[in-house]
Amino acid sequence: MPPLFEAVRSRYNYVFVDVGRTLSRISMPVLIGADYIIVVLGADPATVKLARACLEFFTAAGITSRRLILGLSRAVGRAGLTRDELSNRLGLPVPVTIPHDPDRFDAALAGGLPLTVREPQASSAASFEEIIRLFTRAVAS
């Protein structure tokens, strides 16, 4: 793992790194060194094919499925596969769905507040809280 990330890990209990959607010589050492990886997936068949390849790459790199938390992003509404269909195709649980809620996401971004603070009762906010619950349970075990 790069020295910068080692220094950050030594100072904080949790470190979140958004590596984007590509695997590279820069992102792979970070992912390999991570305790857990939250993988955000789309619902279309092409994404499933890419996700399967990514999961195989993770396995080859020594990243086990117990270190992964998969989530379905409904970025385009209800089109595509359901969470259960996605889970069946990938062979791993997909425990959370982030609903299509562009107006709330845009308003939270424009207002400079996390969605969970700006509109804590929104179903999309509840999805983010569920991701955090899953993550903290995984870290505690």
Is residue 116 within 8 A of residue 103, CB to CB? The reply is no
Half-sphere exposure in the Cβ direction for 122 (13 Å, CA): 20
Q: What is the pLDDT of residue 130?
A: 87
Strand intervals (E) in 4-141:
37-41, 68-73, 96-98
Rounded to whole angstroms, how far apart are CA atoms 44 and 105? 21
DSSP sequence for 72-88: EE-TTTT-S--HHHHHH
Q: What is the pLDDT along the chain (141 residues), one digit of tens a residue?
A: 678 888 988 998 888 888 888 888 888 888 998 889 989 998 888 888 999 999 999 999 999 999 999 989 875 656 688 889 999 999 999 998 888 888 998 999 999 999 899 999 998 898 888 888 888 888 887
In a domain, 92, yes or no: yes
Whether 19 is covered by a domain: the verdict is no
Domain limits for position 127: 35-140
Residue 84: give its domain's CATH number.
3.40.50.300
pLDDT value of position 58: 93
Cα-Cα-Cα-Cα dihedral of 113, 16, 135, 21, to 10°? 100
pTM for the predicted model, two decimal places: 0.80
**Domain assignment present for 29:** no
Residue 7 covered by a domain: no
Does 97 fall in a domain? yes
At 79 the pLDDT is 67
In a domain, 15, yes or no: no
> What integer pLDDT is reported at residue 134 of this predicted model?
84
What's the pLDDT score for residue 75? 59
Overall domain count for the chain: 1
- Taking Cα atoms as reference points, which of 59, 62, 63, 53 lies closest to residue 21? 53
Q: Is residue 110 part of a domain?
A: yes
Q: In this structure, is residue 104 part of a structural domain?
A: yes
